[in-house]
Amino acid sequence: MKRIVILGSTGSIGVQTLDVVRRFPDRLQVVGLAARRQDLLSKQAREFGVPYVAIGEGANVQDGFPSNTSVFNEAGSLERLATLPDADMVVVATVGRAGLLATLAALKAGKRVGLANKEVLVMAGSLVTSMAREYGGELVPIDSEHSALWQCLVGEDLSAIHELILTASGGALRDRPLDELSTVTPEEALRHPTWRMGPKVTIDSATLMNKGLEVIEAHWLFNCPYERIRVVLHPTSVVHSLVQFTDGSVKAQLGRTDMRLPIQYALSHPERWEHQELQVDIMKLGALEFAEPEWARYPCLELAIEAGKRGGTYPAALCGADEVAVELFISGRIPLTGIPELVGEVLQAHENLSTPDLDDILAADSAARERCLTLARSRGWN
């Protein structure tokens, strides 16, 4: 029996993680949940008999939680859940910087961390990976692309990697004429052609910011130079990632566009648990097509990769600015093309710290958020 904590249990990844738990009740037990949506959180706590939950700091705790469930709503609640002695693994399914401190706390406590939050490694890759090494924590990816790379690399010598290849569907707007991108509505950008995800990740997929963040993640997860990490377009999303080795061999991981597969692998590793619903009929896959990304269509991809290469606090500034810009777009206050415009200007003005500590990283994130809002207001995007 593996005992797990899920941070962000009411979001897309959190809900699908609980789907996996339902399928394997004799192997998985939920001991902690954290979320902002109190109504769904209380329902989850009742269904799974969860002893500990956390909601937003200072939230007015409503009725609905089981009488034997302890509810945390103070500062540090996520870190408290992430370090529960009862927990074997912590799934970080939050969005943005919300999961950073909890991830560090879990790794310091020697936990296995299933990471579905891109920004944690992007913002603080050096701190996160060094924390895992120092305290014996384990970092495993839940993102489909990084799970695919992980599966391809099992048993391999990392020094034999020639190239890590991340696939991208191209998002909802891959076929939209370039001169029409400025008029795209949030509803249009949120219609992802192959994946079912939360709004932030879906918009990042439309701009390909998500793939730039994944390049940075892959750099830290697999200790691979940026020059050996490549992004290719693969519209059907059948192949989730590929690895080319120095001898010319290529491994690819294929599967359904269903996040339960990488979630289950992270929870079950080193075992594989049977799941008939996720089986693939290879006779129905059809042709596997790949193409180079159209860089003019996806300026966010280049911004993210460049921020990763510069290092220091640049990635934190990137994440802070992007999170705010995406929120502004979803709320209808800026055009889609305003996202790379704002993020690019924030990065241009950013004063980098090359060897930041945690406080430096959080400060860079906060400053980037404020600058992004200021720039939006200066353009009349209110």
Label residue 9 by pLDDT band (50, 70, 90): very high
Using the 3D structure, point to which of 114, 141, 168 is the last residue of a domain: 141
On whether residue 269 sits in a domain, the answer given is no
CA-CA-CA-CA torsion sign (175, 300, 36, 112): positive
The pLDDT value given to residue 140 = 97
Average pLDDT over residues 314-338: 96
How is residue 288 written in tokens? 């596997």
Are the C-beta atoms of residues 322 and 376 closer than 8 Å to each other? no
Residue 58 confidence (pLDDT): 66
Judgement on whether residues 297 and 220 belong to the same structural domain of the protein:
yes
116-126 core/surface letters (b: 16 or more CB in 10 A; e: else): bbbbbbbbbbe
The domain boundary residue, chosen from 141, 161, 188: 141
Domain end residue (candidates: 141, 165, 194):
141
In a domain, 234, yes or no: yes
Structural domain of residue 205, as residue ranges?
Answer: 144-257+282-305
Contact by Cβ (8 Å): 75, 96:
no
Cβ contact 107:137 at 8 Å: yes
* Mean pLDDT across 127-144: 96
pLDDT tens, residue by residue, 188-244: 999 877 767 788 989 999 999 999 999 999 999 999 999 999 999 999 999 999 999
pLDDT digits (tens, 9 = 90+) for 282-307: 888 888 999 999 999 999 999 999 99
CA 283-284-286 angle, to 5 degrees, is: 95
Instruction: Tell me, yes or no, whether 196 lies in a domain.
Output: yes
Cβ contact 349:371 at 8 Å: yes
Q: Which residues pair with 239 in a beta bridge?
A: 254
Q: Does position 137 have pLDDT exceeding 90, yes or no?
A: yes
Contact 5, 91 (CB under 8 A): yes
Q: Same domain for 295 and 171?
A: yes
Residue 106 shares a structural domain with residue 227: no
Residue pair 114/92 in contact by the 8 Å Cβ criterion: yes
The predicted model gives 8-14 an average pLDDT of: 94
The dihedral built from the CA positions of residue 237, 167, 123 and 80, taken in this order, carries a sign that is positive
pLDDT for the residue 194: 73
CA pair distance 72, 41, nearest whole angstrom: 12
pLDDT at res. 100: 93
Interior/surface letters 352-372, b for 16+ CB within 10 angstroms, e for the rest? ebeebeeeebbbbbebbbebb
Please report the sign of the dihedral spanned by the C-alpha atoms of residue 96, residue 97, residue 98, residue 102.
positive
CA distances to 107, 130, 209, 318 from 312, rounded to whole Å, are: 21, 15, 19, 11
Question: Quick check: 142 pLDDT over 80?
Answer: yes
What is the amino acid identity at position 51?
P
SS3 for 53? strand
State the pTM of this model.
0.93
Verify that 167 and 289 share a domain, yes or no. yes
Cα separation, 34 vs 27, in Å, equals 21
What phi-psi label fits residue 4: left (phi over 0), alpha (psi between -120 and 50 degrees) or beta?
A: beta
Rounded CA separation 49/235 (Å): 41
Q: Does one domain contain both 201 and 296?
A: yes
Residues 57 and 22 both lie in one domain = yes
Tens digit of each residue's pLDDT (9 = 90 or more) over 62-72? 778 888 999 99
One domain, residues 317 and 300: no
pLDDT at 285: 86
| Same domain as 324, residue 295 | no
CATH (domain of 337): 1.10.1740.10
Angle, vertex CA 315, rays to CA 228 and CA 370, nearest 5: 160
Co-location of 288 and 205 in the same domain: yes
Same domain, 163 and 290: yes
- Please check whether residue 378 lies inside any domain of the structure: yes
What per-residue string of b and e applies to 280-295 under the rule 16 or more CB within 10 Å gives b? Answer: eeeeeeeeeeeeebee
Mean pLDDT is lowest, of 114-118, 119-123, 177-181, 188-192, for 188-192
Q: Is it the case that residue 61 has pLDDT exceeding 80? A: no
Residue 268 within any structural domain of the chain? no
Pick the range with the lowest mean pLDDT from 9-23, 65-79, 111-125.
65-79
Total number of domains constituting the chain: 3
For residues 148 and 132, membership in a common domain is answered with no
Based on the domain organization, do 349 and 375 belong to the same domain?
yes
Helix residue ranges per DSSP H, the chain: 12-23, 38-48, 77-82, 100-108, 118-135, 144-153, 186-189, 199-207, 209-221, 260-268, 299-310, 314-330, 338-349, 358-378
Query: What is the longest distance spanned by two Cα atoms in the chain?
Result: 61
Which tens digit of pLDDT belongs to each residue from 330-349? 999 999 999 999 999 999 99
Distance between CA atoms of 106 and 89, rounded to whole angstroms?
Answer: 9
